[in-house]
Amino acid sequence: MDREYNETARPAGAPDGYRMNTSAILTQRLIAAHPQWSVGLMLFALHAALAWGIGEWWVPAALLAHFGLFLLWQPVWRGEQEIELRHAFLVVLAGVLLAAWNSWWLMAVWLAVLFGLIGGSVPGITDRRQRRVSVLAAFYLLSMLLMWVVPQLLADEVANIAHVRLVRYGLLGIPVVIMLMRFESRRPEAPVAVDLFYSVLLFLLVVALVLGSFVVKVVSQGEYPMALAQTLFVIALLLVTLSWLWNPRSGFGGIGHMLSRYVMSLGLPFERWIQQLAIFAEQESEPQRFLGLALQHMLELPWVCGVQWETRSGPGEFGTRSDHVAEFTIHDLQLKVWTRWSLSPAVMLHLGLLAQMVGYFYDAKRREQIQRQNAYTQAIYETGARLTHDVKNLLQSLRSLCAAAETSGADQAAALQALMQRQLPQITQRLNATLDKLRAPQEVDSDQVDALIWWQGLIQRYSTRNIHFAVDGIVRNFKIPSELFDSVADNLIENALNKKADGHPVRVQVMFSPASGGTLTVCDNGAAIARSIAARLFDAPLPSQTGLGIGLYHAAKQAVRLGYRLELCANEPGKVCFALARDHVNASVTEVVPQRSSG
């Protein structure tokens, strides 16, 4: 039979100890599928050791059986993990001590510990029937402690036969009920972890109840039931008072608020690590280096011994590996954290939050890097687009001079020569300025020229085109930024000349006013600009067949840098006007009407 078992259960090439491992796995699965059996049998063995007194001959054997069943049920170590040698020594020592030292005080402490372990696991149990099993087991332990063990500590003779029978045979029904409870057949799950805070709190409450009853009985020289009732009443009164002081409604912050504030003010490892993470995020802008510093700093947590990560930029690892690992995935970051021991659910939750913070900070750093690259590309694009429009405007000026040369006759040679002498140096100067910007771009152009000279030069550049120039006021004794006005004037005039006017010739009118430091207005009788385009005309590049959009976008940004404002002051069919003026000028600029013609 054994041979058949080995042939069927052990795969080819498996070691000889495979049968033993398989038996252990089957035992663990059986216990996990029927947890009430191990609890019921554990309580049976404990009842056999205590209900008839600890001086009987079978008590050591019953306590050893009880301790073995406790090890099968215990929620401290996982059943599939191997116990280290030092832990195994402590387990053996505890079993020998429990079986060899027959003492009611030791039994009282052991029952209080069991009550704390079982009661501490109740908050983490989601299955209703399993919760009932834990509640019944805790009720049995508390009943055995208060009804049987504590009276033995007080050296009272339990002469009441009904009391003895109730303990020996009445409490025995609780383990029977636990074993007869049915559970739905499901996949075995990992044992529920014990909450340390609840376990310690329940243990301390039981100890306070036992010691309080002992003190009250000794001091009052009364009966044990009365001492137990008095102690229960005092503990209940204290718990009610604490529950009210925890969150009162009379304006006082409460013990809960004070305790949470005290705990938050402690220099916990989580708080220190988060503070250092914020420092790394502020000082380091490169994503990979920030990730390396943050995860290397995670090794300073007392339970972390190694970390490994993998991103699109490559993997990395710090520290040493262990048998306990937790894996996290946050966006593009895959993180493995090795710990020195198995972590509790609370610490695992905090570790997951830390991993999420690292992942979110890393993702934010990557977005910042992408934004910096996009900003650099955008700056290159804007510089190139602006210089392209400057070159286009210069080319248009050269075309105007070529057109004047082609259409002039012999009697206009002197006038043509004078025009060339005036315009070619200006074009050369503007071309040199454009090349200088290409070599070393500057945010602000500080070249200032006399407004009258600039206005006369503009008229001469477009003297051969169908453009009407007008001036409002006396233009003298003030300066304007030549590059800005040249760029805006060239863009507005060329855009107006390229428009269509429903079969009529396009008429372009350019007016300059010395008001508010120089105001330039360009109007045409072409079609109105669509509202969707006009709303974003100066906010973003807008591709258009007539050239509207990109040049005006850069011209508007340049005007803002120099303290001016470019706006669309009229947008109607047959009347489309743009105005360039100081930023503090409002509606008065848009209402200017040409009064005198300058040629």
User: CB-based contacts of 158: which residues, under 8 Å, 6+ apart?
Assistant: 148, 151, 152, 164
In this prediction, residues 273-294 reach a mean pLDDT of: 82
On whether residue 510 sits in a domain, the answer given is yes
**Same domain flag for 57 and 152:** yes
Q: Is the pLDDT of residue 105 over 70?
A: yes
Mean pLDDT of 326-345: 82
pLDDT band with cut points at 50, 70 and 90 for residue 8 = very low
Q: How confident is the model at residue 577 (pLDDT cuts 50, 70, 90)?
A: very high
325: pLDDT strictly greater than 50: yes
Q: Tell me which of 167, 183, 202 is where a domain ends.
A: 202
Q: How confident is the model at residue 592 (pLDDT cuts 50, 70, 90)?
A: very low
- What is the mean pLDDT of the segment spanning 459-463? 77
In a domain, 346, yes or no: yes
**Residue 14 belongs to a domain:** no
Residues 155, 54 share a domain: yes
Of the pLDDT bands very low, low, confident and very high (cuts 50, 70, 90), residue 14 is: very low
Question: What average pLDDT score do residues 433-440 get?
Answer: 65
Domains contained in the chain, number: 3
Q: Tell me whether residue 311 is in a domain.
A: yes
- 156 against 596, higher pLDDT: 156
193 pLDDT more than 80: no
Which pLDDT value is given to residue 2? Answer: 42
Residue 87 lies in a domain: yes
Judged by average pLDDT, the poorest of 8-17, 280-289, 342-351, 530-539 is 8-17
- Among 20, 30, 70, CA closest to 188: 30
Banded pLDDT at 182 (limits 50, 70, 90): confident
Position 172 in a domain: yes
Q: What is the pLDDT of residue 521?
A: 92
Task: Say yes or no: 58 and 155 in one domain.
Answer: yes
Domain range spanning residue 577?
443-597
Same domain, 455 and 587: yes
pLDDT at position 31, please?
55
> Does 478 share its domain with 338?
no
Question: Do 344 and 456 fall into the same domain?
Answer: no
197 with 283, same domain: the answer is no
CB 3 within 8 Å of CB 15: no
32, 192 Cβ separation under 8 angstroms: no
On whether both 451 and 559 belong to a single domain, the answer is yes
Residue 219 lies in a domain: no
Percent pLDDT > 70 in the chain is 71
pLDDT in tens, 236-283: 898 888 777 766 655 555 566 555 555 544 445 667 777 788 888 888
Instruction: Tell whether 427 is covered by a domain.
Output: no
How does DSSP classify residue 501?
B
- Lowest average pLDDT, out of 53-67, 140-154, 438-452, 510-524, goes to 438-452
Report the run of H or E that residue 467 belongs to, with start and end: strand 467-471
**Within this chain, do residues 105 and 198 fall inside the same structural domain, yes or no?**
yes
Same structural domain for residues 175 and 300? no
Same-domain status, 40 and 171: yes
Distance, CA of 453 to chain centre: 61
pLDDT at 192: 53
Across all residues in the chain, what is the average pLDDT? 75
pLDDT the model gives residue 522: 92
Q: Which of 389, 547, 595, 573 is nearest to 483 (CA)?
A: 389
Residue 546 pLDDT exceeds 50: yes
- CATH no. for residue 547? 3.30.565.10
* Alpha carbon distance 550, 542 (integer Å): 6
Q: Domain boundary residue among 342, 363, 384?
A: 363
Which of 304, 336, 363 terminates a domain? The answer is: 363
